[in-house]
Structure 1
Amino acid sequence: MRTTHWRPLLAAAWLWPAALPAAPLTLAQAQAQAAQHHPALAATAREVDASQGALRQAAARPNPAFTAQVEDWRADQRTTTATLDIPLELGGKRAARIAEAESARDVALAELAARRAELAARVTADFHAVQSAQQQVALTRDAAELTRRMLDATARRVAAGRLSPVDEARARVELAQAELQAGEAQAELDTARLSLAALLGDTVPRFDSVDAGDSDAHGGADSPARPAPADLTAALDASPALAPARREAQRRRAAVDVERSKATPDLTLSVGARRANDLGRTQAVIGFSVPLPLLDRNQGSLQQALARAAQADDQLQATRLALAAELQQAQARLGRSLQSLRSLRDTVLPAAALALDAARQGFEAGKTGLLDVLDAQRALIQARQHQRQQLAAAHQAAAVIDRILPTTP
């Protein structure tokens, strides 16, 4: 019997603590909690239990039958025959049936592994979505704080008669927009937290924040890197996302053997005794019966099984092609995001920060206007938001790669 690792899911499926620690939730904690408490994974594990029962039933041999027959109701003339009819399966039916049940169990195990990998990828994606939303909240709050400082500085200059009241009004509008964006960012964060909590088996979040351990408040991070597999075909063949389709194709071929074995009729052996009261003796009775495969040789069921086996092979090829395309697209998106992140980190962000410092200094010296400072501030904020978006896109692409190739380091 194959050892499986899903039984702890059933034993502790809903033993959830009342509250999580106050410390930020890490990705490792989120993965472990989802694996233990997500009901869809436990439901898939139930199918493995069902397949084990089907395998046990497939190995069972047919029951014998007891037959009794009485001739003539008169006691002195009565003849009583009792036989035990023992079915004997021929044509390898039991072995074929067991092989199909084992293949069905392998399908269930492969489906469980695929669902586990898929859940891990979804948790990773939602975890980094929460992280990205946290960064957006920090960015919008920083932007609001910067705008508030500019408003204070502008108000002082207006009071001193060095700027027009129009500039103060413009700064107030800018602050109102920044505060509105901060509120929208908080709403997006709440939505992202709810989505992650659902994967952890909760209806409400039991964590305050997440910590990937590799990012700062503005979205700077050690971005995820995934090496492209040198042999894509070999990598896909080992993918748990492809395993259910491959196992299903094997099960369909085993079903063909089952239907082919049914073309051989079974033999029923009868062993018993006949008691003739008029003769006063008991005789042994031995016989057999076998169906004559003249009208039904199971041709239709065999044809159906062959067609479905070919269909499963086609579906396997279609799944392989779809996964290959999805993997290549994810690798391309990851590559583009990493390239953008390098450009933002090395060129765009430093230049935007320098431009804002220069605009502020010029504003303090009376050499530049408020609009120049606001434009420079928007450029820096937009660059930081772009960095956050590219980092989130990189993590999403990496999650797709990990779902298809979870052994990727």
Structure 2
Amino acid sequence: MSFRFAALAAWIVGVVAVFPATAAERISLDDAFQRVASSHPDLRLSGPQRAVLLADRDRASLRPGLVARASVENAFGTGAASGVQGAELTLSLASVLERGGKLDARRTLANSRIDTLAVEREARRLDLLAEVARRYLAIIAVQRQRDIARFDIAQRQRTVAGARKRLQAGASPESVVLTAQAALARAELDLARADQRATTARQHLAALWGERAPDFEVVASDPLQLPAIADFTALTVLLERTPELTQFVGEQRIREARLQLARSESATDVSWDVGVRRLQASGDFGFVAGISMQLGARSRAEPGIRAADAELVALEIEREAKELSLYSTLAEAHGRYSVAQLEVSRMQSDILPKLAKAEASAERAYRAGAISYLEWAQLLSEYTLARKQQLDAAVDAQRALIEIQRLTGQAFVADAGVSSERQGRNL
């Protein structure tokens, strides 16, 4: 029995060593979108905001209420009016008759605010999608940086081994070995730096859904895969439908409703009251009624009308300024993407293959004693630097692509492994 127990314990230890107790969770960009959609305050805020606006609409739809009044006359005076013997009691109802369409103007203003809330939420959603995609892309970029660092380490290890072999053969001094070891140490430092950046990038992404101690990994993808995009003219047409400009349509309705409400203030409201009065001397009852109107309503409403009209004119100017700003940003992002896409393609098809062949040829020449270590090491550095340059260009292109799709209101593509149409449906 003791032998069987020991064997079972050994098997369990072996399984635990091979398979960790809790494997790191792997999430895709879709998963990140879903987590942000379900937990981010900016998106959950629209619910309470809508409730507030609905309450404001209900309040705006109320007509002026009835006021019950009771008044006593000829009481607590002197002579015949002393005490309450000659008091006359009047009971009445009073209210205000609104004129000029004030009720409809208030309702229109309240409904306009409710309608714009959905557009504002969509704008916040697109901003969050863009931020999620940027932070997710940062993790992908760090993963590729680690791959480049590991490749560089492997290359530098070969140079150290080659330098040692030459040293043992008496063909090169010890300084060459030390130089190769220093280059290897720098490559290892790049890997350690990339590892630290990966931790920071995961924390930065997880902060969007409130996770404080992230232990996930993202699904690997290739940032060098850059999709073809529409030309600039076609993108400018899509720019017209972006929520950043659509918001101005809703804001225009709001300001038009404010103008109409200000104009309605020029119509004088009529205050009325009706009631019954008891005549104490005869014990009879009489009907009482009255109306009142405020004078000068039009002149008092005039400043508000001018202000509302000026706000409406200013909104059109604000929209033009915003449209110019978005157009400039789109042009800059489209240009960045086109240039970076060209750089990535040329690096992949022309520059990197030639550097790889040159590095391999230099290694053979160094081992044969035809060139110095510095020539081989320089080619290694050029090859690694070119790969880093290609990655930087690809990441810049992906950032520009995210910005283009945020501006045009289209689905986001942060990596080639995720369908843009599916991402667009996530939130």
Using structure 1 for the length normalisation, give the TM-score: 0.87
User: Deviation string for 1:242-275 (max 9, x for gaps)?
Assistant: 2223322321221111111111111223222222
Letter of the 1:67 counterpart: R
CA contact (8 A) 1:148 1:175 kept: yes
| Contact map agreement 1:140 1:182 (CA 8 A) in 2 | yes
In 2: Cα distance, 1:229 partner to 1:55 partner: 43
Q: Quickly say closer, same or farther: Cα 1:161–1:309, change in 2 above 3 A.
A: same
CA contact (8 A) 1:197 1:205 kept: yes
Residue among 308, 330, 334 paired with 1:331: 334
Cα distance change on mapping 1:370 and 1:349 into 2, 3 Å = same
Shift of residue 295, structure 1, vs aligned partner: 8.1
Q: Trace 1:280-319 onto structure 2 (pairs within 5 A).
A: 280-293=283-296, 296-319=299-322
Which range moves more in the overlay, 133-142 or 74-83? 74-83
* Number of the residue aligned with 1:36: 38
User: Which sits farther off after the overlay, 259-268 or 174-183?
Assistant: 174-183
2:369 matched to 1:366?
yes
Measured in 2, the distance between the counterparts of 1:197 and 1:72 equals 77
Spell out the pairing of 1:2-401 with structure 2 (5 A cutoff): 22-73=24-75, 77-207=86-216, 209-211=217-219, 213=221, 215=222, 221-228=224-231, 230-231=233-234, 234-293=237-296, 296-401=299-404
C-alpha displacement at 1:149, in angstroms? 2.4
Identify if the C-alpha distance between structure 1 residues 294 and 321 changes in structure 2 by more than 3 Å, giving closer, same or farther.
Answer: closer
> Which residues of structure 1 form unaligned runs of 5+?
1-19
Report the Cα offset of residue 44 of structure 1: 4.9
Shift of 1:181: 2.0
Query: Which residue of structure 1 aligns with residue 16 of structure 2?
Result: none
Deviates more, 1:339-348 or 1:249-258: 249-258
Displacement of 1:326 after TM fit? 0.8
Q: Aligned to 2:100, what secondary structure does the other structure show? A: coil
Question: One-letter code of the match for 1:82?
Answer: L
Does the aligned pair in 2 maintain the 1:232–1:324 contact within 8 Å?
A: no
Separation (CA, whole Å) in 2 of partners of 1:324 and 1:349: 36
Asked if the contact 2:127/2:406 (under 8 Å) is kept, the reply is: yes
Q: Deviations over 1:309-337 (max 9, x none)?
A: 22222111111111111111111111111
- 1:14-62 residue CA offsets vs partner (Å, 9 max, x unmatched): xxxxxx9734221111111112122233335533332222222211222
Secondary structure, aligned partner of 1:242: helix
Query: Quick one: which amino acid aligns to residue 344 of structure 1?
Result: M
Matched AA of 2:158: R
In structure 2, C-alpha distance between the alignment counterparts of 1:290 and 1:212, rounded to whole Å:
75
Distance of 1:21 and 1:228 partners within structure 2: 44
Q: In structure 2, what is the equivalent of residue 7 of structure 1? A: none
SS of 2:70's equivalent in the other structure is strand
Check whether the contact 1:197–1:206 (CA below 8 A) recurs between aligned residues.
no
In structure 2, how many angstroms separate the alpha carbons of the residues matched to 1:353 and 1:195?
A: 36
Is the 2:268–2:297 Cα contact (8 Å) retained in structure 1? no
The separation in 2 between residues aligned to 1:225 and 1:46, in whole angstroms, is 41
Q: Secondary structure at the match of 2:272?
A: strand
Change (3 A) 1:46 1:380: farther
> Which one-letter code corresponds to 2:139 in the other structure?
V
Q: Counterpart of 1:292 in structure 2: which amino acid?
A: L
Matched-pair contact (CA < 8 Å) for 1:229–1:235: no
Q: Distance in 1 between matches of 2:26 and 2:87?
A: 88
CA positional deviation for 1:82:
1.3
Change in Cα spacing, 1:271 to 1:206, as seen in structure 2 (3 Å) is farther
* Number of equivalent positions: 384
8 Å Cα contact 1:38-1:199 kept in structure 2: yes
Aligned AA for 2:275? G
Letter in 1 for 2:68: F
TM-score normalised by length of structure 2: 0.84
Q: Distance in 2 between matches of 1:254 and 1:380?
A: 64
| Post-superposition CA distance 1:354-376 (Å, at most 9, x none) | 11111122223333332222122
- Whether contact under 8 Å (2:266, 2:298) holds in the other structure is no
* Contact 1:260–1:302 (8 Å) recurs in 2: yes
SS at match of 2:45: helix
Q: Higher mean Cα deviation, 114-123 or 83-92?
A: 83-92
Q: Alpha carbons of 1:121 and 1:275: their partners in 2 closer, same or farther (altered >3 Å)?
A: same
Provide the C-alpha distance between the structure 2 equivalents of 1:185 and 1:227, rounded to a whole number of angstroms. Answer: 34
Q: Answer yes or no: is the 8 Å Cα contact 2:272–2:292 preserved in 1.
A: yes
The answer on whether the counterparts of 1:362 and 1:368 sit within 8 Å (CA) in structure 2 is yes
Q: Distance in 2 between matches of 1:294 and 1:266?
A: 9
Cα drift, residue 77 of structure 1: 3.3
Q: What is the distance in 2 between the residues matched to 1:242 and 1:295? A: 35
User: SS state of the match for residue 71, structure 2?
Assistant: strand
**Which residue does 2:415 correspond to in 1?**
none
Question: Separation in 2 of the partners of 1:233 and 1:150?
Answer: 52
For the 8 Å contact 1:24–1:210, the answer to whether it is kept is yes
* 1:211 alignment partner AA: V
| Aligned equivalents of 2:131, 2:391: Cα separation in 1 | 19
Contact 2:235 2:408 in 1 (8 A): no
Percent identity over the alignment is 27
Q: Which runs of 5+ in 2 are unaligned?
A: 1-21, 76-82, 412-419, 421-427
